[in-house]
A and B are shown apart, each in its own frame.
Chain A
């Protein structure tokens, strides 16, 4: 049985997920290493994080809700 085996009970799996919120950020859950362009780890303070998708967040790579103020529409 591999880690990706879908028959494995969900509580035992450590797979990460990325959820694309309509016209909003990417929600990232699970064991994912976030690094900057030099490979340095990005501080992560919570289990589930929202990554900016509109490009206008003041706290990139995280979302700060600015997509709502600028009327961002996801492709």
Chain B
């Protein structure tokens, strides 16, 4: 029995009360204070589940495989299409929305507003009252974008006639879909449905989308992974800041549009629409992440999160090793951050939108440390932002060497949120996000930081443990 301890210098981790650490400091002993808190919120059932799954050897290999698939996915923007004909399973009376499943009567104001707008756009209703009646009648079906290989920011509404970006993951062959970002102000995704909103949607359908479709045909596909990687070195985190990525995309698409022979007013307006919208790339960043994460879903035994999404009422997550459309949901939190002048916290709707797909992919809030310009907007310091990003390694299975963060010495961003690690550490994923006004159509009223409710991860772990218990 070799007690080499007596020959070594003591290096102590003090877990619990800091009184002991203080006296180790007095003795100049090398030590670290571990400010412990009960894992899994102190719930015996969860602790038991954590301990049980800790013994399952298949998990590590499963998570490695899931993360490898996510990392190796290579999304390209290949085409524009119409939702009904492009999205598999889309139907004439189906409307897709952000977040986990929700019934019309339970939806938040902005989501109902956006659905009203979509029914006006689809010419299924002539006014708000008719639209509300139709939506409540059951004649229109609602389902999460995420269940149809799609994602949408804020309300995330996709109706059958809407044009969608078509993203192809050329590594694994799956596709993902997202609408065109309308810009800021009165826009459908914040629940606005006035005339100007509908005419913009019409213009996107009639002028913008066909133009982009021609340009893309010329391009042979635009490499979204490459643009994201570069933008991360240019101060974007590709969720709340897409200035650099949009510029890079503009540089690419403009050449293709010219090469496709576009000219005149159509070309001018199309280019101006992208140029004037710093968030254009958000609707490419999101489906690119979606394409990669869908490739990582369905790995038996994997505890990696493949979706985080909010519908303005509930936050939902999906886990790779669970069923395709199995959601773990809980009441969404309110976003903490900076409000535009004239608004208060009470004006804000709870957390909304599919855009947390970017954090699920290890960018957005996870890469905030590399996006100093956004930090003030979300109400913190650069140090806070670097700290948030660094903390995310604690709850992730891996790092992504293809998405590196300059401020963290080009360390790869944290990738592959592991539900076990979230519960073990009590550290929740950090999400950068916009705040929507709770009333339809008012629009964005601020931006900040939000966390998923821990209960989503708790439910997921319990369901996971019972699904695989006895199989291992």
* A and B part of one assembly: no
Residues of A within 8 A of B (CB): none
